[in-house]
Amino acid sequence: MRIREIEYLRGLAIMAVVAIHVTALGLTHNFSTFDISINLVSRFCVPLFLFIAGIVLIYKYDEKTFSYRKFITKRLKDIGIPYLIWSFIGFTVFLIGNPFSIRELLFTFLLGNGQLFYHLYYIPLLFQCFFLLPLVLKYIDKKYFVLGTGVLQTSILFVYQTSFLQGNPIISGMLVQVFVGSWFFYFVLGCWIGKNLNKWTKKIQEMRLSLVTGLFLFGIMVQFSDFYFSWKVTSNYADSSNFLRPSIILYFLLSLPFLYRVSNIAPLKRIMYKIGEHSFSIYLGHLLVIIAAHRYISPWNIFFISIVICISAHMIYLKLLPRLFRRKGSPAINVIRKTS
């Protein structure tokens, strides 16, 4: 099911994902204020994807007609298979110049957190949300359920960040990152808003632009302040700028009205819809394109060129691939259509 307004948001989210990975690679070679600023501002992307997933699923399913077996089977086919294919590609490329590693094998396929395609952790995370969907459908009308998931997630991230700042993380950040409790509030919030989507969009459209922009800028200020403090304490910019911080929850909530308004600007709608329509395929392969682009682009901080190359390469790929098959019903084409 395609909800056009949500598809615009999806396009914005995938562009932010690409921006994070472009700037992250750049920061490993040359610390740049521009790169870190873009990286921090783009941190709404994964929360937004989970939020969108919640809206779409609650819009489509309800507790009475929901078939858990059919639901999981369809997701395993449409999302699980492409995930395994790209995990295999990433692990195979890793083996070039590296010895075989059981640890790398498990991290790649079970956690989606391999050395090369570390971004695929989102898929195991998303499946955890899928597994918990019956629970969400049962309690989503209870306000305390949404609030409770928010408190739980904030508590988990607060404990983790506090231990990180003290120099003694109680658990690996990699495990916290793939644990559903660290993200579940975004998904549940999407489900809750999805129950009254028209009312929510109407309220945002009625909000003054100055208020929407002010909330977004305040969220950015909170984000930057949190990063600066963590970085000064730990000298670790990567963990100081990641998603596993309570400030990300606040930033996402404050930026949501602004993101909705931006994604619905008339001149951008068509572009956002087209990109959002193919967001899953772009998500799976964009890191490979970025790595290849950065190898031939100098200096490392040519941000916009990398973004354009990444998005354009995937759009061209998705246009040309059907021509490689004579039959429209080719399984390869169907997988792309269903997952994107």
Please give the structure tokens belonging to residue 31.
């610390």
- Predicted pLDDT of residue 31: 63
Predicted confidence (pLDDT) per residue in 169-202, tens digit: 788 888 899 999 999 999 999 999 998 888 999 9
Give the burial string for 93-111 (b: 16+ CB within 10 Å, else e).
bbeeeeeeeeebeebbbeb
Distance, CA of 147 to CA of 138 (rounded, Å): 15
- SS3 category, 183: coil
Please give the structure tokens belonging to residue 147.
């609030």
8 A C-beta contact, residue 263 and residue 257? no
Predicted confidence (pLDDT) per residue in 212-245, tens digit: 999 999 999 999 999 999 988 988 887 888 999 9
Please give the structure tokens belonging to residue 182.
């660290």
Burial label for 248, CB within 10 Å (0-12, 13-18, 19+), is buried
The CA–CA distances, whole Å, from 94 to 89, 107, 115, 286, 295 equal 9, 12, 7, 17, 17
Predicted confidence (pLDDT) per residue in 84-104, tens digit: 998 888 888 777 777 777 877
- Predicted pLDDT of residue 329: 42
Residue 252 has pLDDT above 50, yes or no: yes
- Average pLDDT over the chain reads 83
Sign of CA dihedral 75, 78, 81, 85: negative
Question: Per-residue confidence at 6, pLDDT binned at 50, 70, 90?
Answer: confident
- Predicted pLDDT of residue 215: 96
Its pTM stands at: 0.87
Please give the structure tokens belonging to residue 239.
């963990």
Please give the structure tokens belonging to residue 216.
């977004």
- Predicted pLDDT of residue 77: 92
The CA–CA distances, whole Å, from 58 to 2, 188, 192, 195, 340 equal 13, 10, 8, 7, 19
Helix axes 184-194, 143-165, angle to 10 degrees: 160
H or E stretch at 118: none
- Predicted pLDDT of residue 300: 47
Residue of 300 and 29 predicted with greater confidence: 29
- Predicted pLDDT of residue 332: 39
